[in-house]
């Protein structure tokens, strides 16, 4: 193993490691030497101090996302499942390719590719290499090359459940048993089908939020009434002249500063990073509504919105700096999260392109219109305007335009292999899950061999981060005999 460092945080012993994996897995085989450009795969090995020298079985964590890095731990209880897991396992926490410390992909990366002359087609092909088929091959290579081929247990949270089914499709022989929480995808995959379930749930979640905090219905309306729509911002930016833009050839920074100056002069509210605050971006606060305590987090963001008087709702009050900062932070995301969001549903050769599935479905739901009051919040969904108006996403736009018309992706699910799966799979299915429909999860599980599920409405999508969910799954698998190989 390539050990970078080792250290302790309270209650945990941690080792940092890094290995090389191929950027492009085509023509390469996990566990073998490879040709072509390489990237770094970073991972941590976590144990409790008393188990540092013990030969414990291995558990690899398949992080949620997409575009999510492994957890950064402060203690065994800072991410609730870790406390129970480290009683039984040496826990492996990889940063999925492109995230965290694994050859990170962000706006700087995309800008460098463009500056080097890579066109939109090339950038799109580059991003396709950061999806599930490559992520799982990275992990299998890690198992074979760094852990002597020892079979391990997988723990998949959210998107990590998607990765679990990819792992069981491609490399089931490497897995002893699998746990998933809130993350069984519908197979066959269809992005539009997912959002057809998501938007009605978001309307219900918004209604529940207003029932919980009725005063916030007036606050939300007073805020939204002062905001432009994304279309209005785009139209205005399109009218700016070169003199207003203050742009010079080849200077994106000058161009952006000109746009910001123009919007500010026009009176558009701007977030601290210069992005316009539109109604559509404000609606994105609802993306957190599937977690706890999200209603409270949004409630307190709204509480600081108005600068004048005692802070009560007012269409005449400017927004406070604190409010704008909180909205910016709450609606910003990890660099690869939105660019990859809809392509986690892309599986092999598709009959039709994804073509902005969330926006297409949203267009059939007028209750999410910018002029509707009470205003409905949207959920975990990306929209075209994000890649035009958000600084953190704009460098991805050329590639996104290509990917949205693409129909050929790597295969991520083998339906026949899943049907005859022999690896014990224990899934926690959250009945009221806002992001991954429980009915669709159960439908898939009915067609996966040796799968078992626990359905509960006690937890939201982030239930794993408490102390109960992993313990429940562990006990069920242990008592069924699924973990006999470990002892």
Q: Provide the domain count of the chain.
A: 2
pLDDT at 119 over 90: yes
Residue at 264 is within a domain: no
* Pair 117, 197 in one domain: no
Residue at 127 is within a domain: yes
| Per-residue pLDDT reduced to its tens digit, 208-229 | 999 999 999 999 999 999 999 9
* Pair 59, 181 in one domain: yes
pLDDT at 76 over 50: yes
* Pair 222, 176 in one domain: no
The pLDDT, as a whole number, for residue 247 is 43
Residue of 435, 370, 461, 369 whose CA lies nearest to 198 = 435
Q: State the maximum Cα–Cα separation within the chain, in Å, rounded to a whole number.
A: 72
* Pair 179, 276 in one domain: no
Which tokens go with 405? 């018309």
Helix, strand, coil share (%) of the chain residues, nearest 5: 45, 15, 40
| Per-residue pLDDT reduced to its tens digit, 326-345 | 999 999 977 899 999 999 99
Count the neighbouring beta carbons within 10 Å of the beta carbon of residue 173: 10
* Pair 26, 159 in one domain: yes
* Pair 387, 421 in one domain: no
Task: Concatenate the DSSP letters of all residues of 76-141 into one string.
Answer: TTSSTHHHHHHHH-EEEEE--TTSTTSS--SHHHHHHHHHTT--HHHHHHHHHTTSHHHHHHHHHH
**Global pTM value:** 0.96
Mark which of 358, 373, 403 sits at the end of a domain: 403
* Pair 35, 132 in one domain: yes
| Per-residue pLDDT reduced to its tens digit, 85-112 | 999 999 999 999 999 999 999 999 999 9
The pLDDT, as a whole number, for residue 250 is 42
| Per-residue pLDDT reduced to its tens digit, 451-485 | 999 999 999 999 999 999 999 999 999 999 999 99
Which tokens go with 38? 């390489």
Residue of 312, 341, 333, 114 whose CA lies nearest to 215 = 312
Residue at 241 is within a domain: no
| Per-residue pLDDT reduced to its tens digit, 164-194 | 999 999 999 999 999 999 999 999 999 999 9
The predicted model gives 262-288 an average pLDDT of: 94
Residue at 250 is within a domain: no
Domain that holds residue 381: 191-227+269-403
Mark which of 359, 379, 403 sits at the end of a domain: 403
Q: Is the N-terminal amide bond of 188 cis, ω within 30° of 0?
A: yes
How many percent of the chain have pLDDT more than 90? 90
| Per-residue pLDDT reduced to its tens digit, 48-68 | 999 999 999 999 999 999 999
* Pair 157, 218 in one domain: no
Count the neighbouring beta carbons within 10 Å of the beta carbon of residue 122: 15
The pLDDT, as a whole number, for residue 333 is 78
Residue at 239 is within a domain: no
Residues across the chain: 487
* Pair 421, 285 in one domain: no
Mark which of 381, 403, 425 sits at the end of a domain: 403
The predicted model gives 19-37 an average pLDDT of: 96
Report whether 159 contacts 345 (CB < 8 A): no
Which residue would you say has higher pLDDT here, 44 or 241?
A: 44
* Pair 327, 385 in one domain: yes
pLDDT at 244 over 80: no
């Amino acid at each position: 193993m390539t050990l970078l460092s080792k250290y302790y945080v309270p209650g945990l012993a941690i080792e940092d490691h890094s290995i090389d994996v191929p950027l492009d897995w085509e023509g390469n085989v996990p566990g073998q030497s490879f040709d072509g450009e390489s990237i770094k795969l970073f991972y941590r090995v976590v144990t409790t101090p008393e188990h540092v020298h013990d030969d414990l079985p291995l558990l690899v964590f398949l992080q949620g996302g997409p575009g999510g890095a492994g957890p950064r731990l402060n203690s065994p209880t800072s991410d609730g499942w870790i406390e129970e897991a480290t009683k039984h396992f040496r826990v492996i926490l990889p940063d999925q390719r492109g995230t965290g410390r694994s050859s990170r992909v962000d706006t700087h990366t995309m800008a460098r590719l463009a500056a080097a002359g890579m066109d939109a087609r090339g950038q799109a092909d580059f991003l396709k290499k950061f999806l599930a088929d490559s992520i799982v091959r990275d992990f299998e290579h890690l198992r074979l090359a760094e852990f002597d081929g020892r079979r391990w247990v997988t723990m998949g949270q959210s998107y990590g459940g998607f990765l679990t089914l990819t792992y069981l499709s491609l490399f089931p022989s490497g897995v002893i048993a699998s746990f998933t929480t809130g993350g069984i995808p519908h197979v066959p995959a269809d992005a539009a089908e997912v959002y057809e379930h998501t938007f009605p749930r978001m309307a219900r979640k918004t209604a529940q939020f207003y029932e919980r905090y009725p005063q916030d219905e007036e606050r939300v309306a007073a805020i939204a009434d002062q905001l432009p729509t994304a279309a209005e911002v785009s139209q205005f930016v399109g009218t700016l002249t070169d003199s207003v833009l203050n742009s010079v050839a080849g200077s994106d920074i000058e161009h952006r500063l000109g746009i910001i100056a123009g919007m500010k002069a026009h009176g558009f509210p701007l977030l601290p990073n210069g992005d316009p605050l539109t109604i559509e971006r404000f609606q994105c606060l609802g993306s957190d509504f599937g977690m706890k305590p999200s209603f409270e987090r949004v409630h307190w963001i709204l509480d600081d919105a108005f600068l004048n008087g005692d802070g009560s709702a007012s269409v005449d009050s400017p927004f406070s700096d604190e409010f704008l900062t909180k909205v910016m932070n709450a609606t910003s995301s990890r660099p690869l999260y939105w660019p990859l969001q809809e392509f986690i549903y892309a599986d092999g050769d598709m009959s039709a392109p994804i073509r902005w599935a969330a926006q297409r479905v949203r267009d059939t739901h007028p209750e999410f219109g910018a002029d509707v009051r009470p205003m409905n919040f949207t959920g975990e969904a990306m929209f075209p305007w994000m890649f035009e108006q958000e600084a953190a996403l704009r460098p991805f736009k050329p590639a996104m335009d290509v990917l949205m018309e693409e129909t050929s992706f790597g295969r991520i699910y083998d339906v026949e292999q899943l049907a005859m799966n022999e690896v014990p799979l224990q899934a926690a299915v959250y009945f009221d899950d806002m992001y991954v429909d429980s009915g669709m999860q159960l439908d898939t599980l009915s067609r996966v061999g040796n799968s078992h599920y626990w359905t509960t409405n006690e937890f939201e999508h982030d239930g794993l981060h408490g102390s109960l969910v992993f313990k429940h799954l562990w006990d069920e698998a242990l008592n069924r005999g699924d973990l006999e190989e470990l002892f």
